[in-house]
Structure 1
Amino acid sequence: MPHPRRIADRSQDKLDPTGQQSSRYAEAGVDIEAGNRAVDLMKSAVRSTFTPAVRADIGSFGGLFALTKLPARPLLVASTDGVGTKVKLAGQHSRWQGIGQDIVNHCLNDILVQGARPLFFLDYIAADKLVPENVAAVVLGMAEACRAAGCALLGGETAEMPGVYTSGSCDVAGTVVGLVDQEALLPRPHDMQPGDLLFGLPSSGPHTNGYSLIRHVLAGRDLQQPLEDGIPLIDAVLAPHRSYLPHLLKLEEAGISIKGLAHITGGGLEDNLPRILPPGLLARINRGSWEVHQIFHRLLDWSGMETEEAYRVFNMGIGMVAVIAEDQAVPVKSALPDAIPIGTLTASSQSEPEVVFED
């Protein structure tokens, strides 16, 4: 729904022989009224995210956003992603609001690593059959995450598509657009050198990756059973994707220069960290430097997965990595007590950057 979040045209509605309104569209499986009900339920939450730059209300064909106070060399940064199969597990346990937080925070983190700050977010929700309360709960979660980031929920689409999605299925995706001055663009690979430190920022759990495996592993298990820390299994596995904007703002306020950031998503540390490193450097990671979440230990035990594979599937407790100069270690820990020194950059003779794990 392009925030008129319209699902369809009403021109197919007509009166049946009893005088009651019927809809050929509804008979085909698309309920316009359900979509309108969902919009009514979410309106106030969406408007609560509007910043002064938003120039169109809900109901416009497109969202309008004024670009003011631009830096000298502005760059727009955009990223699109989806929640993936986590939405299936969340739906089975009516945890819809967390899914809204998931998609916003995942997208936010993907532009933060390029030095951008978010301007606005657009969402896409599709299902075989719309349940207004569920759709609204997802959008409420999005709105909560957008407000926390100072990001406007500018528009979106809600699609009811029987025959495309199987019964009970849905999909949630989104796009974020942010702004960065070219001088502040990350990463800065030419500034990286041997001896630079790698600081890990803790994740809240699996975030939004590996859920096809997770759902398979958890099938038939008691999801209310507590982990060693007392948190129910279902809460640990569905914890919303963490936003790292507050962490980065604290580093910025402390005057700490960041050379690069890597969002640890699908592919884990092994695939994501090399994306920001220059040739001739190797990331040496000490896997004993942080405490891996209990949920990952359980998933490994129940799945029979080898540790090496797990580090290519899951974030294993580290959701973002920052490359910082060695002499900034103390200021980083002062600004971010939960930041963990997990490794260093070292010289390498390899033509491509890589990650080496040490236990």
Structure 2
Amino acid sequence: MSNTYKSAGVDKEEGYKTVDKIKSAVAETHNENVLNNLGSFGAFYQIAGYKNPVLVSGTDGVGTKLKVALDSKKYDSIGVDCFAMCANDILCHGAKPLFFLDYLACGKLDSEIAAEIVMGMVKACKDNECALIGGETAEMPGMYKPGDYDVAGFCVGIVEKDQIIDGSEIRAGHKIIALPSSGFHSNGFSLVRKIFPDFNEEFEGKPLYETLLVPTRLYYKPIHSLLEEVKVYGIAHITGGGLIENVPRIIADGLCANIDTAAIKIPTVMLELEKRGNIDRIEMYGTFNMGVGMVIVIDPKHAEKVLDLLDDAYEIGEITEGPEKIILN
């Protein structure tokens, strides 16, 4: 009997099934700027309507949150997470997402699981005016165990050159505003899984995995609406490393972000994790978002307007002069 690719563990037919399940939904994310369909070697996207455009790119994955989804057999939110992690990053520079591509790797492809993951990306793209224009599904027996998956994405956005937000205009006296997260988002799950080994345990009246798998919040719509009304001097996406590592990324030398931790609304699941795992509070702030998914820096004269425009935002600190980039008070 001759060898085949399938005998080596790669089922091309399952890949074709995956494409058949997603292609019509993916096409619904396309707009007039997408010039070809799935199946080409490359995806075409034309840029129109900008005077001095700058492309902004970002790539990310969902880490071991995927393990929670796989063990719980709940796959629909992971695609949203993948898109959100990329789109929120480029939003930090004021960019509007144009298009998104995904990479899905596994040991043995299941078209139902793969399609459910991609459909999450489709939903997120449609909700945020972004085209899903391509992707790669890689079945790699020997590299991954059957049942194992990895997901990553790549997002390209656009911003006018004179509207780039990079933190360079942040000054002492500016206010720091928090936008709440929806939970853990997609960071810190190796520690979460260590402390919470049973995802089916009851937490606040429902299985714990439902809380853990709440998708990463997307901030594009509220932030871009805000940018039309108010000048924003800096934006930080609070991902791996928490406030401690991400806020300093937008702070110039000689300036310090003074954070009032008493003002931060920490989710109950994070407090439970901290208690059960005997984790120091400073370790929590250096690992998790602690309920703050995004931070913006604004002029204090706009604070009241910003809080009115962003329904659930609240002030957590201010910029001062000092040698340290961030202080948690």
Instruction: Please tell me the TM-score bracket, short chain as reference.
Output: over 0.9
Amino acid at match of 1:355: I
* Equivalent position to 1:354, from 310, 325, 328: 325
Contact 1:250 1:336 in 2 (8 A): no
Match of 1:216 in 2: 194
Match of 1:11 in 2: none
How far does residue 78 in structure 1 lie from its aligned partner after superposition?
A: 0.6
Within the alignment, does 1:298 sit opposite 2:278 as a pair? Answer: no
CA deviation map 1:122-172 (0-9, x unaligned): 100000000000000011000000001100000000000000112321100
Equivalents in 2 of 1:188, 1:303: separation in Å? 36
1:2-17 aligned within 5 A: none
How far does residue 222 in structure 1 lie from its aligned partner after superposition?
A: 5.7
Equivalents in 1 of 2:308, 2:160: separation in Å? 27
Q: What percent of counterpart residues are identical?
A: 42
Consecutive aligned runs of 4 or more in structure 1 exceeding 6 Å deviation: none
Equivalents in 1 of 2:92, 2:43: separation in Å? 25
1:17-28 aligned within 5 A: 24-28=4-8
Equivalents in 2 of 1:234, 1:32: separation in Å? 32
Within the alignment, does 1:143 sit opposite 2:117 as a pair? Answer: no
Match of 2:55 in 1: 76
Contact 2:72 2:199 in 1 (8 A): no
SS of the aligned residue for 1:80 comes to strand
Contact 1:289 1:342 in 2 (8 A): yes
How far does residue 241 in structure 1 lie from its aligned partner after superposition?
A: 0.7
Give the superposed CA RMSD: 1.4
Amino acid at match of 1:213: L
Within the alignment, does 1:36 sit opposite 2:36 as a pair? Answer: no
Within the alignment, does 1:334 sit opposite 2:308 as a pair? Answer: yes
Equivalents in 2 of 1:188, 1:296: separation in Å? 29
Amino acid at match of 1:163: G
Within the alignment, does 1:120 sit opposite 2:120 as a pair? Answer: no
Within the alignment, does 1:48 sit opposite 2:28 as a pair? Answer: yes
Equivalents in 1 of 2:303, 2:47: separation in Å? 36
TM-score of the superposed pair, with normalisation by structure 1: 0.89
Equivalents in 1 of 2:196, 2:167: separation in Å? 41
Contact 1:143 1:153 in 2 (8 A): yes
Computing the radius of gyration over CA atoms, which structure comes out larger, 1 or 2?
Answer: 1
Contact 1:199 1:321 in 2 (8 A): yes
CA deviation map 1:146-199 (0-9, x unaligned): 00110000000000000011232110001000111110111242x222211000
How far does residue 70 in structure 1 lie from its aligned partner after superposition?
A: 2.1
Match of 1:236 in 2: 211
* Equivalent position to 1:172, from 128, 145, 151: 151
Match of 1:345 in 2: 319
SS of the aligned residue for 2:38 comes to coil
Contact 1:196 1:344 in 2 (8 A): yes
Contact 1:233 1:295 in 2 (8 A): no
Q: Which region of structure 1 is more displaced relative to structure 2, 54-63 or 199-208?
A: 54-63
Within the alignment, does 1:205 sit opposite 2:183 as a pair? Answer: yes
Equivalents in 1 of 2:87, 2:79: separation in Å? 13
Equivalents in 1 of 2:202, 2:235: separation in Å? 36
Equivalents in 2 of 1:323, 1:185: separation in Å? 14
Amino acid at match of 2:93: Q
Within the alignment, does 1:225 sit opposite 2:202 as a pair? Answer: yes
How far does residue 91 in structure 1 lie from its aligned partner after superposition?
A: 0.8
* Equivalent position to 1:245, from 220, 224, 228: 220
For this pair of structures, how many residues does the alignment match?
A: 329
- Unaligned 5+ runs, structure 1: 1-15, 17-21
Amino acid at match of 2:245: D
Q: Which region of structure 1 is more displaced relative to structure 2, 75-84 or 134-143?
A: 75-84
Equivalents in 2 of 1:231, 1:356: separation in Å? 36
SS of the aligned residue for 1:247 comes to helix
Alpha carbons of structure 1 residues 38 and 200: separation in structure 2 relative to 1, 3 Å: same
Equivalents in 1 of 2:174, 2:92: separation in Å? 17
How far does residue 215 in structure 1 lie from its aligned partner after superposition?
A: 1.2
